[in-house]
Structure 1
Amino acid sequence: MESFIMQTYTIVLPIILGYVVWLLKNQKRDRDANSKGTMLLLRVQMIEYHEKWIARGYVTKHGLENFIEMYDSYHDLGGNGVATQLLEEVKELPIRG
């Protein structure tokens, strides 16, 4: 009986571990894709806000707060310096409203 349990254990354990590794790799791939998509959406939105506010000549207090939060999220996801330049330009705008 002990021999049967050991044989079963040595066969089943690698299969289970292999499946767990496969699941983790797929989850990582999905997380990476979600992070990249989120980062792209944030960048597009920050570019749109930047263009709108630069053309308008000012930013609202809430708009600036939202932009900073978007920038922080973008940066945390690994975003590059493009957003930093946008943030600095938006911060230079006068605040109204």
Structure 2
Amino acid sequence: MDWWQILLAGVPSLFSGILLYEWEQQRKRIKEQENEKEVRNEALVKGVQALLRDRLITGMETCLEKGYAPINTVEIMGSMYAAYCDLGGNGIVSGIYKRFSSLPHKLPDDV
């Protein structure tokens, strides 16, 4: 057996090793990218949730102070509240929303 036959016999094993190494590296990169996307997604969800919470509380407290809530405001707050709940929000906003929902939709006549 010549040296080139020995060399040719080892080439498939060498290529297999290189391909396996590259495949493992690619899997690691994909996993890192997926983890990074997961972290960013969680940050976006928390950010949107915080913005909705702030806007909901501000808007509903303003209406509670006035003693009424115009119908367009009720619709907007309802949509935001549903989105807030879908994102996992809860707590103090739910209590304020219950009080807000019971407000009349126009300014009382005696004010």
What residue in structure 2 maps to residue 10 of structure 1? 20
Quote the Cα distance in structure 2 between the aligned partners of 1:14 and 1:86: 52
What residue in structure 1 maps to residue 61 of structure 2? 51
What residue in structure 1 maps to residue 36 of structure 2? 26
What residue in structure 1 maps to residue 78 of structure 2? 68
Shift of 1:51: 1.4
**TM-score computed with the length of structure 2 as normaliser:** 0.81
Quote the Cα distance in structure 2 between the aligned partners of 1:8 and 1:86: 62
More displaced stretch, 72-81 vs 13-22: 72-81
**What CA RMSD, in Å, does the superposition of the two structures yield over aligned residues?**
1.5
Identity of aligned residues (%): 24
What whole-Å deviation, never above 9, does each CA across 1:52-87 have from its counterpart, x for those lacking one?
101111001110011011111111111122221121
What whole-Å deviation, never above 9, does each CA across 1:34-65 have from its counterpart, x for those lacking one?
11111111111111111110111100111001
Q: State the AA in 1 paired with 2:65.
A: A
Q: Give the count of matched residue pairs.
A: 97
What residue in structure 2 maps to residue 85 of structure 1? 95
Quote the Cα distance in structure 1 between the aligned partners of 2:105 and 2:15: 72
Quote the Cα distance in structure 2 between the aligned partners of 1:74 and 1:3: 56
Q: State the AA in 1 paired with 2:88.
A: G
What residue in structure 2 maps to residue 35 of structure 1? 45
Runs (4 or more) in structure 1 with deviation over 6 Å come to: none
Q: State the AA in 1 paired with 2:93.
A: A
Shift of 1:6: 1.5
Unaligned runs of 5+ in 2: 1-10
Shift of 1:5: 3.4
